Amino acid sequence: MTAVGPTAPEAAAPDAAAPGADRRWVAFVAGADATGTLTAVTGVFSTRGVSFDSLTTGDVADGVGLIVVTFTASERRQRLLTRTVRRLAAVRSAEVRAVDDPAVRAAAVVHLPRASGPFLPPDDAAVRWSGDPAAGQPVLVEGPLPDVERVVAAARARGADSAATVVLPLPAAEFTEP
């Protein structure tokens, strides 16, 4: 896996973590569609004392499936996890990005009560969205992961019944061979 942070100074979060401090990461792991692949990847994190913020699996194509893990760790621990995951026989390719990297995008579906009124995302959230809770429609949100998370938090504060967020796969060109 290759770890990449924000690509431009303006992409860095205003409260960027100090060196050695824990920060959030997203690992995109393309692994063999075989028994034990997910167990092997999750075992790397478990045996090193790192919990997941989230874990999702994606479609399988040509015998390879995508595993996306968000987690919190220091940069040093993230590099250790990266090296170890890359050594797994079942891993075909992998990338790790800081959560605030502009390439890390997400989509969410949020169900708000009809009585919640018109929906507007927070002004500082750079997201695309659609849906009208007053008409019984779910709100669909897409954008950079931190902004989508901010929209979901705002919706929950307004009484959202349920929400689901998924980190979108990186474009194939972003992956490197292990």
The span from the CA of 28 to the CA of 104, in Å, is 10
User: 102, 122, 138 — which closes off a domain?
Assistant: 102
Over residues 79-90, the mean pLDDT reads: 95
- For residue 156, pLDDT over 50 is answered with yes
- For residue 41, what pLDDT band results from cuts at 50, 70 and 90? very high
**Are 9 and 79 in a shared domain?**
yes
How large a percentage of the chain has pLDDT more than 90?
Answer: 70
CA nearest 70: which of 47, 86, 51, 83? 51
The pLDDT value recorded for residue 15 is 45
Query: What value does the mean pLDDT take over residues 133-150?
Result: 94
Residue 69 is inside which H or E element, if any? strand 64-73
Interval 35-50 mean pLDDT? 95
Instruction: Give the residue from 102, 131, 157 where a domain finishes.
Output: 102
Considering the entire predicted model, what is its pTM?
Answer: 0.82
Asked if 88 and 114 sit in the same domain, the reply is no
Residue 97 sits in the same domain as residue 109: no
